[in-house]
Amino acid sequence: MSKVTEDVQTKQTVQERLEEQLRAVAHIGHVEIGVTKFEDSLWFYTDVLGLVLSEKEEGRAYLRAWQDFDHYTLVLQESEKSEVNRMSWRVASEEALDLFEKYLKDTGIDVERIEAGQKKALGDTLHFKSPSGLPIELYWEKELFETDDPQLKSKLPSHPSKSHLKGVSPRRFDHVNIMVNDVKQEQEWWTDLLGIHHRYFVQNKEDERLGSWLSKTNIAHEVAFMRNANQNGAAFHHLAYFLDSPDELVRAANIMAENGIEIEWGPGKHGTSGAQFIYVFEPSGHRVELWTGGFLIFSPDWKPIEWKSDVGELGMEMWGSNPPETYYTYGVDIGE
Amino acid sequence: MSKVTEDVQTKQTVQERLEEQLRAVAHIGHVEIGVTKFEDSLWFYTDVLGLVLSEKEEGRAYLRAWQDFDHYTLVLQESEKSEVNRMSWRVASEEALDLFEKYLKDTGIDVERIEAGQKKALGDTLHFKSPSGLPIELYWEKELFETDDPQLKSKLPSHPSKSHLKGVSPRRFDHVNIMVNDVKQEQEWWTDLLGIHHRYFVQNKEDERLGSWLSKTNIAHEVAFMRNANQNGAAFHHLAYFLDSPDELVRAANIMAENGIEIEWGPGKHGTSGAQFIYVFEPSGHRVELWTGGFLIFSPDWKPIEWKSDVGELGMEMWGSNPPETYYTYGVDIGE
Amino acid sequence: MSKVTEDVQTKQTVQERLEEQLRAVAHIGHVEIGVTKFEDSLWFYTDVLGLVLSEKEEGRAYLRAWQDFDHYTLVLQESEKSEVNRMSWRVASEEALDLFEKYLKDTGIDVERIEAGQKKALGDTLHFKSPSGLPIELYWEKELFETDDPQLKSKLPSHPSKSHLKGVSPRRFDHVNIMVNDVKQEQEWWTDLLGIHHRYFVQNKEDERLGSWLSKTNIAHEVAFMRNANQNGAAFHHLAYFLDSPDELVRAANIMAENGIEIEWGPGKHGTSGAQFIYVFEPSGHRVELWTGGFLIFSPDWKPIEWKSDVGELGMEMWGSNPPETYYTYGVDIGE
Amino acid sequence: MSKVTEDVQTKQTVQERLEEQLRAVAHIGHVEIGVTKFEDSLWFYTDVLGLVLSEKEEGRAYLRAWQDFDHYTLVLQESEKSEVNRMSWRVASEEALDLFEKYLKDTGIDVERIEAGQKKALGDTLHFKSPSGLPIELYWEKELFETDDPQLKSKLPSHPSKSHLKGVSPRRFDHVNIMVNDVKQEQEWWTDLLGIHHRYFVQNKEDERLGSWLSKTNIAHEVAFMRNANQNGAAFHHLAYFLDSPDELVRAANIMAENGIEIEWGPGKHGTSGAQFIYVFEPSGHRVELWTGGFLIFSPDWKPIEWKSDVGELGMEMWGSNPPETYYTYGVDIGE
């Protein structure tokens, strides 16, 4: 007798199992950040990083990489302090949004439903917070990017806009990373509640969790949590865009150097993911990662890779460079 | 009233919906091919392409790329003719295998269950054929690759074996491509029955389907069907391994040239996927593709991109090179 | 008794030998071309190719790559037909210019001295023609590029202007290529008279010379001659700029495709030089090559590499692609 | 009246000028090093770095990169201490060797002539020392590399041996770097006596010379001198091989990591030359650099680029990483 047959012996169980199956996140969608130097940051994201400006309003800009199919993957909001305001994930179906709302409420989590039309290009969304206070958003509907601008429109149907127009010109939005006090607790909540798979983690000599990387899709991670060395709560560590090759990463580093943008660390290579990286600080103080390579994870029963302390340094950087002190201590605030 | 609520009004419906959800393929796993020149092909796959030989038996070899986590992704079988014997996919759970068996039988498809132990490193598998006669295999259990050989074992837990040991050394197995008479029919069967999503397709001037590319995971495609210009049935077009950069592709082309391996086409760039490629013929006559780049697809409601005839050539190759005649006519047999 | 001692037994011989030593070309400097579509070509060279516009006059533009130290390496002249007007080489010293003038006259070659101030950024120059009628210029003085424009000026003293500002952004000017009826004759004249070393050559089955590549510096060639398949005289085949990597070449091909610029051939790899290439046609019909890699030649007694007909195709393209018909037949005129 | 005419008014002057012209170095040829762990170093240079072993004798190995045309560019000598034994340069003609011998003696430098046959693959050589005690060799004749080994021989006449056979597989030997107490003095001696051009230099805040880079050919440098922070005399800093792209450099770093070879610094980018680099320590303690990119210098009247202290750090590394302490203090001995 198969597991299904067993389960379906009571209607309740079958429905619960079905709801569990349907209550699924699809992928990370975008991140909203507050920036103190709006125009300077906008210059960085468009001219230096080479993102496409989808739309601009007073004190607000919507941006995307050339092959992000969505209307935007990054929102800049002029702000009194640099902070992260929202990390948004698409759910797997319209049904999933309702199921999450119900489930979150049942679980005792304070969830707010924002109706379609309130947020640019989005249908209904759910707002709620993780144990560390991270502002999460779930949505089902989001407009795709479309343009008739001949400077921007590609003749290739696979290109929502032309590639390589200026600056670094990354291919797509990749992930976010947040420092928290308790990595293990945060990771387990995301995995248990949202079904975001745990991919790999690093332990220190005291067998404390230094970092955990998670994804729902096949990419190595869409969200990561790293231990805040200050132990003073959560802080936004970085957002990341993806490049096609190590060579493009080197080109990106050159462009940063030519434009006076500080490279905090890199080029280096994370042993954990196998991705090559640079980290830079944009004018408002956000850390931005450009990265390339890394593995994809296809296994449906993936066992998180443990990086014990004896190889933890290789995990952080396998070529031998050490992260600067700031890498473990500096982040921007988590917005209200 | 949500769709779930509606559905669950009858126990039957809920169970059916649950089974439909659970009856899922996870990803392509490996391909088994017959080769007429076993030792020459083995030299090609190990010394030139640089795959790792996991295991070798009389007239049979199991191979994988350095970051393929599984025991193998390619099986060579000494054979009287070069052919494809099996294209194997992992399902999403043990339950899924049973559900597929039941469903395939219910649908009237002839399915054979091969018990664990019959096939190297695999648990139970299901064997059946597509409308064009392609030999498909589904499985849940497959051993991971492990080694204690100091020449092969990496100190990085993320590397099942050392990278860059010799030859081209691709990162991972990627996809298969088969020529069939009726692309549309074949694609629809795979999408409807196996849930492999349709990603993009090319139409000719007569609005016939020239090619369709499908995947279950986020990569652009795991299986493709192209119209057999000879219209004489199905033929195996190629298998593909993935490289990390255009630069590695150039290096691969150099290695082919130094080793007297004919490059049929490339380096070129498919406009459809955005992936750069070369196609070569290995000693037994199989076409092997090396490719890099290309987009990932995250959207749960992805609408297949149509390449109409006016941009179809860009879709096949966006830099302007034309595929040789053989590309549309040559393939090896489909095994019994 | 050393060779020097022998030679110096007559004053005449020593002076002749000294003059021969001093009468030296240093390197190719720039090329002047006529373009029928001035504004379109200017768009191509600045926005697509990403050269820096040093200076613009009515119907004339001076351009350079970001690390060309000279004021310009390419001159566009609005013209009734697309043609090459001048191929200019720097001599090794001021003295060398005078010695060439004297020597060319002694040899019976019609040479014109253009005084400083007549040509942009140049001191005195010598104008004369090769046996095939190619318009050659020699000069000693040429202004270096300097800028105070903060958008353009790099803080790196090694960068005359910022790198990677837009488009392809090649590093430097590389070479020119001309089709002539008699390759061997033309090559020997350049080697004998101007001291430009013969580096490698391709013979056909009839043992006719199909191409010869020459340089004075360590790069594989600064000028090449290829057999005009039409045998109707000399024609300008292409000018070339240098990129830093195969990856940048792929990026260049993408940029061409996005901008509707036809790629005639490539990416491919010349076996002769080992350089990877693409050839494109700019709006006025000039063929432009972008290339990367290739060997340097350090040996002072280099023996030209012969590519016999059995490996001649590998010499032209070692990955197996064939040049299109146009590659052997199309060129623009040689200016008066 | 031209300068030549003036000079030739006395026979002596003309002959002196001619001799000065002819007394020329062509390029750096090879370096001989002593290694304490002969077999381990040989493993590193062949299996990890991927040089070709041209010839091996008891305690001595001759090595070259795949496109080094000479019989060897590196000599390993089993030794009680790791040291540099000889840095060898080819002169521009046979005559030049005699002229250097005479000139060095006239200048009061102790020079020893080693007859052909004494040293592997070399004709007569001259041995002498620089002011800092560096062991220099000049030679005219050196055998080219030739092979009939089908595993090694390429069908491309431009490839003395097959490329990409194993390991990193750099294209060619590039340069050497030595720490000395007085950089300025050493540089001026090489420029004045041997005619090796001064290309760029870095000054510290006290306006002391921290480093000078020199070349006779068009590459950015063939020999460099850096200030020994210990001020305890000369020490051999590193030898370098050239790669074709930043991507190959990343691949090299991966290969080092997989093989347990320590990367001291990099990937980084020298602002001075624009070359990307990694530095590693081979088993006997020699520092080896792999580098790629960088500019070529064509100008016959090149003015050395000064990197003042305000941009000196950018000169050393333009992406922002700092060299480790060892980079300024560690080197191996200068052999007797």
Task: Write down all domains in chain B, each with its CATH number in brackets.
Answer: 21-139 (3.10.180.10), 172-334 (3.10.180.10)
The DSSP secondary structure of D18-76, one letter per residue, reads HHHHHS-EEEEEEEEEEESSHHHHHHIIIIIS--EEEEEETTEEEEE-TT--BS-SEEE
B280 and chain C: CB distance < 8 Å anywhere?
Answer: no
Rounded distance between C-alpha atoms, residue C38 and residue B1, angstroms: 66
Across A277-281, B37-41, D3-7, D292-296, least confident range? D3-7
**Residue B144 above 70 pLDDT?**
yes
Closest Cα partner for C128 from C108, C158, C152, C142? Answer: C108
Rounded distance between C-alpha atoms, residue A242 and residue A219, angstroms: 11
ipTM of the complex: 0.95
Encoded tokens for C37: 């579509």
Answer yes or no: do A258 and C154 touch at CB < 8 A: yes
Per-residue pLDDT band at B11 (split at 50, 70, 90): low
Cβ atoms of A279 and A266 within 8 Å: the answer is yes
Nearest CB to A258 within list C162, C251, C255: C162
Reply yes or no: is the peptide bond before residue C267 cis, omega within 30 of 0: yes
- Side chain identity, residue B184: K
Encoded tokens for A11: 């209607």
Cβ atoms of C152 and C162 within 8 Å: the answer is yes
What phi and psi, each to the nearest 5 degrees, are found at residue C162? -60, 145
Query: What is the torsional sign of CA A314, A192, A186, A135?
Result: positive
Per-residue pLDDT band at C267 (split at 50, 70, 90): very high
In a 13 Å sphere around the CA of C194, the CA atoms on its Cβ side amount to 31
Closest residue, chain A, to B5 (C-alpha) = A15
The residue with tokens 């012969």 is C306
- Taking CB atoms and an 8 Å cutoff, what residues of chain A touch D256? 319
**Mean pLDDT of the A97-104 span:** 98
Per-residue pLDDT band at C12 (split at 50, 70, 90): low
In the prediction, which pLDDT does A190 show? 98
The 10 Å CB-count burial string (b at 16+, else e) for C79-103 is beebbbbbbbbbbbbebbbbbbbeb
Rounded distance between C-alpha atoms, residue B278 and residue A72, angstroms: 34
Encoded tokens for D79: 């030794």
Q: Which residues lie below 8 Å from residue C91, measured CB to CB, with a gap of 6+? A: C24, C25, C26, C97, C100, C138, C139, C140
Q: What is the mean pLDDT of chain D?
A: 95
A240 and chain C: CB distance < 8 Å anywhere?
Answer: no
Rounded distance between C-alpha atoms, residue C33 and residue A173, angstroms: 43
**Mean pLDDT of the A94-116 span:** 97
**Angle formed at CA D89 by CA D87 and CA D95, multiple of 5 degrees:** 145
**Residue C7 above 90 pLDDT?**
no
Q: At what angle do helices B246-258 and A246-258 cross, to 10 degrees?
A: 140
Query: Residue C22 is inside which H or E element, if any?
Result: helix C11-22
Answer yes or no: do C260 and A164 touch at CB < 8 A: no
- Write out pLDDT tens, residues B58-96: 999 999 999 999 999 999 999 999 999 999 999 999 999
- Taking CB atoms and an 8 Å cutoff, what residues of chain B touch D155? 260
Answer yes or no: do C314 and B262 touch at CB < 8 A: no
Distances (CA, A) of D119 to A186, A189, D28: 68, 71, 17
Other C-beta atoms lying within 10 Å of the C-beta of residue D122: 24
**Nearest chain C CA: its distance from A120 CA (Å):** 29
Q: What is the mean pLDDT of chain A?
A: 95
Q: Which residues lie below 8 Å from residue C149, measured CB to CB, with a gap of 6+? A: none
Closest residue, chain C, to B322 (C-alpha) = C321
Per-residue pLDDT band at A13 (split at 50, 70, 90): confident
Cβ atoms of C245 and A245 within 8 Å: the answer is no
Closest Cα partner for A18 from A28, A32, A4? Answer: A4
**Mean pLDDT of the C6-34 span:** 85
Across A313-327, C103-117, C136-150, least confident range? A313-327
Strand partners, D75: D32, D62
In the prediction, which pLDDT does B312 show? 86
In the prediction, which pLDDT does B2 show? 45
- Write out pLDDT tens, residues C44-82: 999 999 999 999 999 999 999 999 999 999 999 999 999
Rounded distance between C-alpha atoms, residue C187 and residue C304, angstroms: 12
Cβ atoms of A286 and A262 within 8 Å: the answer is no
Beta strand residue intervals within chain C, DSSP E: 25-35, 52-57, 60-64, 74-78, 83-91, 112-114, 125-129, 135-139, 172-180, 197-203, 209-215, 223-227, 235-243, 263-269, 275-281, 287-293, 305-307, 333-334
A319 and chain D: CB distance < 8 Å anywhere?
Answer: yes
Cα end-to-end distance, chain A, whole Å: 51
A321 and chain D: CB distance < 8 Å anywhere?
Answer: yes
SS3 B23: coil
Rounded distance between C-alpha atoms, residue C140 and residue C97, angstroms: 7
- Write out pLDDT tens, residues B106-143: 999 999 999 999 999 999 999 999 999 999 999 999 99
* Burial class for C51, CB neighbours closer than 10 Å (0-12, 13-18, 19+): buried
R_g (Cα) of chain A, nearest Å: 20
Strand partners, D135: D129
State pTM to two decimals.
Answer: 0.96
**Mean pLDDT of the C186-192 span:** 98
In the prediction, which pLDDT does D312 show? 86
SS3 D5: helix
Nearest CB to D246 within list A247, A318, A319: A247
More confident residue, D7 or B27: B27
Rounded distance between C-alpha atoms, residue B94 and residue B73, angstroms: 20
| Whole-number percent of chain C with pLDDT over 90 | 93
In the prediction, which pLDDT does D10 show? 52
- Side chain identity, residue C284: S
Cβ atoms of D104 and D46 within 8 Å: the answer is no
Residue C7 Cα to chain centre, angstroms: 36
Distances (CA, A) of C17 to C96, C193, D7, D45, D95: 13, 15, 14, 45, 13
Strand partners, B240: B175, B289
- Write out pLDDT tens, residues C198-228: 999 999 999 899 999 999 999 999 999 999 9
Find which of D250, D261, D291 to mutate to test the A interface (most A CBs within 10 Å of its CB). Answer: D250
Cβ atoms of B267 and B250 within 8 Å: the answer is yes
Rounded distance between C-alpha atoms, residue B119 and residue B57, angstroms: 13
Closest residue, chain B, to A155 (C-alpha) = B311
In the prediction, which pLDDT does D13 show? 86
Per-residue pLDDT band at C11 (split at 50, 70, 90): low
Closest residue, chain B, to C260 (C-alpha) = B319
Nearest CB to B164 within list D154, D251, D260: D251
In the prediction, which pLDDT does C1 show? 36
Q: At what angle do helices D11-22 and D94-106 cross, to 10 degrees?
A: 110
- Side chain identity, residue A254: N
In the prediction, which pLDDT does A10 show? 52
**Mean pLDDT of the A273-302 span:** 97
Partners for B (CB, 8 Å, 3+ pairs)?
A: A, C, D
SS3 B282: coil
SS3 B17: helix
Encoded tokens for A271: 């042993």
Cβ atoms of A296 and A219 within 8 Å: the answer is yes
pLDDT beneath 50: ranges in chain D: 1-5, 7-8
In the prediction, which pLDDT does D21 show? 96
Rounded distance between C-alpha atoms, residue D135 and residue D236, angstroms: 11
Q: What is the mean pLDDT of chain C?
A: 95
